[in-house]
Structures are given as C-alpha cells and as structure tokens.
Amino acid sequence: MPRPVHTQSSAAEETWRIFRIMSEFVEGFEAMTKVAPGVSIFGSARCDRDDPYYAKAEALAGSLARTGFSVITGGGPGIMEAANKGAAEAGGVSVGLNIELPQEQKPNAYQTVALSFRYFFCRKVMFVKYAAAFVCFPGGFGTMDEFFESLTLIQTHRIEPFPIVLVGREFWSPLAEWIRTVQCQRFRYISPGDVDWFQIHDDVDEVARLIAEYYDRHIAPRATPSTAAGDQSPVRPRHARIPGIGRGDLMP
C-alpha cells in the first residue's frame, strides 16, 4: 500500500495557516458568546429521517430549546439535522458548527447560527467551551471521538465534570461493558470512578430533565446572568462561559 506523501510547506504558508486558525477561533468566540447555555448533540450523519433515533434527537432538541438551552451540533445531516430541526422548530437557538469535508458533510437547513470550520480542533473547542452537557446518539468514529475526548478532558482536569449522556442502550451498552470490565477491571488503565462520568438512557424526556436539573443545581448559581443585547436565550441566562470550562488548552 503506498504511503502518503508529505509535502514541505513554505514558511509563508505556515504563517498564513496560523492566521486562518486564529480567524476561526475569533469568529467562533464572537458568535458563541451570544447564545444561551448550550447542549452539544452528536450522532451519525448517516442516520435516515425514518430512523427512530432521528425522531428521538429531534424531540430531545425541541425539549431542550423550549426550556432555554441552545442546541449545538456539527451542522450536517442525520442526527445533526434532527437536533437542529427540533431546536429551530421549537423557536430556540439552533447552532451548526459545520466542517469542510470532501464527503458526507452538507450543512442542514435548520441552523439559526451557522459557523464553518476548516480545522477540527477549532471546532472541537466550540463544542466543549460553550456546552453545559454532551449528548451522544449512535454514530461512527466522529461521535466516538467527541465522547472519548470529553471523558479525557474531565479525567485530566481540563474541564469540570458535566453530564455526558449516551442515548441508545442497544448501541452503547456493549461499549460501556467493555470499558468497565476490560479497561477498568482487567487492565486497570482507568479508575473505577471514571466509568461514572457518563450514563446511558433511552428516554429522551429523562435526558432533558436531568440536564436541566444539573444546570439549575450546579451551573446556574455560578453563572452570571446577562441582559446585554444579543442574548438569545428565552429562559435561562446567558453565561460568559460555563464555570470551570475554558481553562488550560481550552482557554482563548
């Protein structure tokens, strides 16, 4: 199998790449500080509209939007489209953090706030920095990447723990069992408490309830309410950032 060819970039090209990266961060920070507390929802771009998980993602996003949360997705089709649709049709803030890809990623039509990224790592910062919770529906490598990165950031104390909810017991339970029995118990590569940082549910009403309860109990008392122009939250106050998120490698 041929190996990829690495081409040497000129100094000028590398310098301009830095400016492109900076511009993505600046645009992202300026846009995201104006939206309500967010819930980042992940899942497969290949999920059909008649798939039960599409309906669940749409329902969950609508419920979150009606209680004052913005909904943040990757802006593409499948589960991302379902979540953006649910939030938009509920009258909420529907954020799409789109990524430039040669395949699969086509921006969906249900974004009230749309951003485009060339670099995955810039986009990932937005997913975490402005989220009060993560919800992962069944998906592929990208969904797994976001799930495990959130666990890694919590484990390494880069962010404070926040709700990480996996929707779909049939899909997620085998992975959770492997994490518990192989990673934790057999090889001891993670600590027993690490498996408590996420939970699995099938009922999206329960997911919406536990996220709202966590926010009201742990985040809202430390968040600074704002009445500044541009606040798009219908219920919950906008925050400058989720307390504890934004430190270390997530700090602008």
Domains of the chain: residue spans and CATH:
37-220 (3.40.50.450)
- Residue 115: name the closest of 33, 34, 45, 32 by CA: 32
d(CA 65, CA 124): 22
Mean pLDDT of the residues in the chain:
88
Q: Residue 27 — very low, low, confident or very high, per pLDDT cuts 50/70/90?
A: very high
Q: Are 93 and 87 in contact, with CB atoms under 8 Å apart?
A: yes
User: Alpha helices of 102-164 — where are they, by DSSP H?
Assistant: 120-129, 141-155
Residue 241 has pLDDT above 90, yes or no: no
Q: Are 70 and 239 in contact, with CB atoms under 8 Å apart?
A: no
Q: Average the pLDDT over each of 13-17, 31-35, 101-105, 134-138 and give the range with the smallest value.
A: 101-105
Predicted local distance difference test score (pLDDT) of residue 249: 36
Q: State the DSSP H helix or E strand holding residue 23, giving kind and residue range, or none if neither.
A: helix 11-32
E strand map for 88-138? 94-99, 113-117, 131-136
Q: pLDDT of 198-222, one tens digit each? A: 999 999 999 999 999 999 999 988 7
Q: What is the mean pLDDT of residues 234-247?
A: 41
Instruction: Name residue, tokens 């492109």.
Output: 20
d(CA 244, CA 129): 9
